[in-house]
Structure 1
Amino acid sequence: MKPASYWVNKYNMQAHPEGGYFAETYRSAEQIPQSALPDRFGGSRVFSTGIYFLLEGHHFSALHQIQSDELWHFYTGDPLEVYVIHPEDGLLEVIRLGPDPERGEVFQAAVPAGTWFGSRPIPGSTYSLVGCTVAPGFDFADFELADRELLLAQYPQHREVIEALTR
């Protein structure tokens, strides 16, 4: 397995605000006008965006939410766990991205718009290299980083995950 630094350098990845590294690989040239989007969007958005996303074993992607669905894709490295808190019922879903379906791992998984989600490589990992496709396309105007205290007040049953995946 190639080291994490190989991928970071090969794809010119930059530090990501959630943690880890990323490189945008696709941003649609066409846009959806605000009038055609749900009210939660504050303006026009591109059709879709895509990134490479790498988390080393000591990294985590902090809990956050966006206004679009996000499709995650596993590429290489160790499995990655994506933690999703569904606001409508408080259910915690753990998606395990990886190459081994016998261990409950999947190559792709969707995270619905408006859920709180974060991720981290499984314990003992070196790194996980994944991709994320967002539609309508990602815009930082649609991004909200979780506030630990507010999430703990809303979802006290998920204290361990919230404390582990917030800063």
Structure 2
Amino acid sequence: MHPRARQLIDARGLAPHPEGGWYRQVFKSEERVVRLHDGANRSALTTIEFLLVEGTHSAWHRVQSDEVWHFYEGDPLELIVRDDKRETAVVLDEDYRVHVVPARAWQSARPLGAYAFVGCTVGPGFEFDDFTMTGD
């Protein structure tokens, strides 16, 4: 593992994530909203820090709300998004730092080098009840 990746895990208190990589929740809004498509009552917004290292990936998964990916540091990150119409791959890096994954779209990610440190903001906020993973 790249020394900076190990430093991030230790310094930021990152824990293993079920989809792969390491994470920690950094914000969960106390404001509550009702999600329009299913009436679920959720935190207005949640944010995590997320780290993927060489040889790992974020398994195919989807959440019930829009998710904004933010690139912080490291090597580029490939983010693949699949909906009913198409599959799109984007690379997050120093030049393209933010990408939105629409609610209920399938997504997967992998670092294109030693490590990628990113953030993910979900609104309405993320709950594990809203998380579906394929295991791939």
- In the superposition, the TM-score normalised over structure 1's length comes to 0.77
Q: Distance in 2 between matches of 1:12 and 1:37?
A: 31
Offset, 1:111: 0.3
- Per-residue CA distance 1:41-88 (angstroms, 9 max, x = gap): 5x310000000000001110000011000000000000000000112x
Are the equivalent residues in 2 in contact too, given 1:116–1:146 (CA < 8 A)?
no
Q: Any gaps of 5 or more consecutive residues in structure 2? A: none
Distance in structure 1 (CA, Å) of the matches to 2:57 and 2:48: 17
Equivalent residue, structure 1, for 2:36: 38
Q: Which has the larger radius of gyration?
A: 1
Report which structure shows greater RCO (CA 8 Å, sep ≥6): 2
How many equivalent residue pairs? 135
Q: Offset at 1:143?
A: 0.5
The 5 Å alignment of 1:4-43 reads: 4-32=5-33, 36-40=34-38, 43=40
**Corresponding residue number in structure 2 for 1:146:** 134
CA distance in structure 2 between the aligned counterparts of 1:39 and 1:98, rounded to whole angstroms: 32
Structure 1 residue 136, shift from structure 2 partner: 0.2
More strand by share: 2
* Separation in structure 2 between the aligned mates of residue 92 and residue 59 of structure 1, nearest angstrom: 21
CA distance in 1, matches of 2:60, 2:123: 19
Describe the superposition over 1:84-141 as per-residue Cα deviations: whole angstroms up to 9, x where unpaired. Answer: 0112x1x110111001x3xxxx10000000111010011xx11000000000000011
| 1:95 matched to 2:83 | no
Q: Which runs of 4+ in 1 moved over 6 A?
A: none
Give the unaligned 5+ runs of structure 1.
Answer: 148-165
1:104-119 alignment runs, 5 A limit: 106-119=96-109
TM-score (norm 2): 0.94
Larger helix share, 1 or 2: 1
